[in-house]
Chains A and B, each alone.
Chain A
Amino acid sequence: MSDLGFPLAVLAELTHRCPLQCPYCSNPLALEAASAELTTAEWKGVIAEVAELGALQIHFSGGEPTARRDLEELVAAASESGLYTNLITAGVLLSRERLADLAKAGLDHVQLSFQDSEAAGCDRIGGHKGGFDKKLDCARWTVELGLPLTLNMVVHRQNLEHLPQMLELAERLQARRVEIAHVQYYGWAYLNRAALMPTRQQLEAATAVVEAARERLKGVLVIDYVVPDYYARRPKSCMGGWGRQFLNISPAGKVLPCHAAESITTLTFDRVGDKSLREIWLHSPAFEAYRGTAWMPEPCRSCERREIDWGGCRCQAFALTGEAATVDPACALSPMHEAMQDLATAESASAEREFTYRTRKAGVAATRAPEPIDG
């Protein structure tokens, strides 16, 4: 691939430890233990490689990245090497002093998650009592310290009715941006799909609310909107194509083509330190597996959209069919498409409200390949 450059942004998942237990967490079911995490020196080596290879932004995520006591040091290292630094946090472990220290270390942007627009829902969905009030404090401090604030809102059947209030909250907290992201169903979210799947009517109503808000709040609040694809006709261009634009480093240093890639249990991943990041990006078998179009079966291979959506999402194909190198069922050309939509429709109408919360124990119990659907 002659046009393959190094990614512009890298996601550094510093830890899988987290005080929240969101049932749609993007971490794998098999959560890494603290003892498996890269050391401060190892992360600094990774940051230097990331900058050297030409990335411009680094996102510090988790788990909860503020659970690492060396976060200030890592932010400083990234900032000094010229990277734009972004903190993706639940906000509940931060004090005003620590946030000020992070700002002083060169932090450029704070992305703060809210699980709902009000305390009861936020604390129940996140599985963390008192979390909502701490998040409000964190948002206020971020703005007071002069850092740009983005609110991250993951939406699903159990909080979509509050979407207008979520947008009001973002406006009230003086966020510059808000991300309204429908749940994507891999790992934990796949496990909790029946409790999360929105109805088609909810999805349509949400899209209308977002479009109206974008008009009303133009120049005040930037709204990014991620739609779910269980009701789509064409798959999303997942990660802008596997191994083309994105790279994720796990707490233990595994280099992943996307944050859900470990859900494809047939893949093995290289680790930082064992090889250079450049070597891994260019030649790691996990990156080469679905890069470009050569891996594609029909109807993808001869599809005129093959370099637009890159065959959709490999993790979704694997979760739903048991085979990653097949058509993403979100595509209307997939033989599984109708079964996927029927599944979404049926689950969205279910009365299920109970979650399997994200805990290490639940992850161990659930670590098995998800059941494919019958097509």
Chain B
Amino acid sequence: MSAPETARERITITEQSVPGLPAGVKLRFDKQRDQWVILAPERLFVLDAIALEIVKRCDGQASVGAIVDELAATFAAPRDVILKDVGALLQDLADKRILAASGAA
């Protein structure tokens, strides 16, 4: 579940991006509070059910496009709607420096 650190510039998430959690960022189940969280430097983000489905697919292998295809099939939802939601979430995580992405070519 780790992806390389990228260049020192803002990541722009596209369908070709391959997202993953960088070193020092961990997806973990918080059993005391019955919730999934991302643990990061001085940060903790509680994931709702939708965000969890997206983040757990960010394995440094699958592209955003492939993740969206799979979610659209799994949840029988329109691809363009899912692409918009996934793109917005991942861009937000990247801007918070808790998501890395490579292969944006």
Set of chain A residues within 8 Å of B25, measured between Cβ atoms: 148
Look across to chain B and name the residue whose beta carbon is closest to the beta carbon of A174: B8
> 0/1 per residue, B70-105, Cβ < 8 Å to A?
000000000000000000000000111100000000
With contact pairs A219-B11, A220-B9 given, residues A84 and B23 touching in the complex (Cβ less than 8 Å): no
Set of chain B residues within 8 Å of A174, measured between Cβ atoms: 8
Inter-chain contact B24/A147, CB cutoff 8 Å: yes
A297 an interface residue at 8 Å Cβ cutoff? no
Inter-chain contact A109/B24, CB cutoff 8 Å: yes
Inter-chain contact B41/A177, CB cutoff 8 Å: yes
Choose among B11, B37, B42 the residue that contacts A56 (Cβ–Cβ < 8 A). B37
- Which parts of A174-226 form the interface with B (CB within 8 Å)? 174, 176-177, 179, 218-222, 224
**Complex Cα distance A216/B8, Å?**
13
With contact pairs A174-B8, A218-B95, A219-B97 given, residues A148 and B37 touching in the complex (Cβ less than 8 Å): no
A57 an interface residue at 8 Å Cβ cutoff? yes
Nearest chain B CB to A102's CB is how many angstroms away? 13
Look across to chain A and name the residue whose beta carbon is closest to the beta carbon of B23: A146
> 0/1 per residue, B42-84, Cβ < 8 Å to A?
1010000000000000000000000000000000000000000
Q: How large is the interface on A (under 10, 10 to 19, 20 to 34, 35 or more residues)?
A: 20 to 34
Determine which residue in B28, B31, B41 has the highest number of CB atoms from chain A within 10 A of its CB, and name it.
B41
A230 an interface residue at 8 Å Cβ cutoff? no
A54 an interface residue at 8 Å Cβ cutoff? yes
Set of chain B residues within 8 Å of A218, measured between Cβ atoms: 10, 95
A108 an interface residue at 8 Å Cβ cutoff? yes
Inter-chain contact A86/B10, CB cutoff 8 Å: no
Set of chain B residues within 8 Å of A147, measured between Cβ atoms: 23-24
Nearest chain A CB to B104's CB is how many angstroms away? 13
Determine which residue in A174, A220, A224 has the highest number of CB atoms from chain B within 10 A of its CB, and name it.
A220
A8 an interface residue at 8 Å Cβ cutoff? yes
Choose among A53, A150, A171 the residue that contacts B42 (Cβ–Cβ < 8 A). A150
Q: List the 10 shortest-distance A-B pairs measured between CB atoms, nearest first.
A: A54-B32, A219-B10, A148-B24, A84-B39, A109-B41, A219-B95, A176-B97, A146-B23, A109-B24, A222-B97
> Which residues does A use to contact B, with CB under 8 Å?
5-6, 8-9, 53-54, 56-57, 82, 84, 86, 108-109, 111, 146-148, 150, 171, 174, 176-177, 179, 218-222, 224
> Which residues does B use to contact A, with CB under 8 Å?
5, 8-11, 22-26, 28, 30-33, 37, 39-42, 44, 94-97
A-B contact pairs, 15 of them (CB 8 A): A5-B33, A6-B32, A8-B44, A9-B44, A53-B32, A54-B33, A56-B44, A84-B39, A86-B42, A108-B26, A148-B40, A177-B42, A177-B97, A219-B94, A220-B8
